[in-house]
């Protein structure tokens, strides 16, 4: 069971990063309806995969070294902090993409104001940067010390 949960955890992490990168690469100031729908789908995949990462991470706490080991580990708290900050940052883009639903269903694209586009771009980049720290903290956590 632990091996299957770990595998789902790792695949979910890769899917989460891939969908976030896809959102970033697909985002433009003027999006056609199909492009906007793709961004919306990628954001849904990002959210589902992030939820799976969290769920399988909690499962791994109990299936592997035990919750006590993790809860007393600074690297675990750093990892969780990175995940929480990235999740909070993702709220703004997700709400914006959800607002596009009626337009994309009607076959209309999306035009983003310069400020909106730059804000979305910066948020996605910040999320990716934060999530790149996760493997460092996870490795530190698994090994018990930084050096």
Instruction: Give residue 65's pLDDT band: very low, low, confident or very high (50, 70, 90).
Output: confident
**In this model, does residue 64 exceed pLDDT 80?**
yes
Separation CA 121–CA 117 (nearest Å): 6
For the entire predicted model, the pTM comes to: 0.92
Position 129 scores a pLDDT of 96
45-68: burial string, b at 16+ Cβ within 10 Å, e else: bbeebbebbbebbebbbeeeeeee
Sign, CA torsion 94/95/96/98: positive
Work out the percent of the chain whose per-residue pLDDT is above 90: 80
pLDDT digits (tens, 9 = 90+) for 8-58: 999 999 999 999 999 999 999 999 999 999 999 999 999 999 999 999 999
- What is each CA distance from 129 to 78, 79, 112, in whole angstroms? 14, 13, 23
The SS3 assignment for 13 reads: helix
What's the number of domains the chain is made of? 1
**Domain encompassing residue 45:** 2-143
């Amino acid at each position: 069971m632990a091996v299957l949960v770990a595998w789902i955890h790792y695949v979910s992490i890769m899917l989460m990063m891939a969908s976030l990168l896809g959102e970033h690469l697909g985002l433009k100031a003027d999006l056609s309806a199909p492009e906007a729908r793709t961004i919306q789908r990628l954001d849904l995949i990002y959210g589902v995969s992030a939820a799976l990462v969290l769920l399988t991470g909690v499962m791994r706490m109990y299936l592997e070294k035990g919750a006590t080991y993790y809860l007393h580990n600074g690297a675990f708290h750093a990892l969780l902090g990175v995940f929480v900050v990235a999740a909070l940052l993702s709220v703004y883009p997700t709400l914006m993409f959800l607002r596009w639903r009626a337009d994309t269903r009607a076959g209309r694209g999306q035009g983003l104001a310069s400020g909106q586009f730059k804000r979305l771009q910066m948020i996605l980049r910040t999320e990716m940067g934060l999530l790149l720290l996760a493997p460092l903290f996870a490795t530190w956590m698994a090994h018990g010390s930084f050096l």
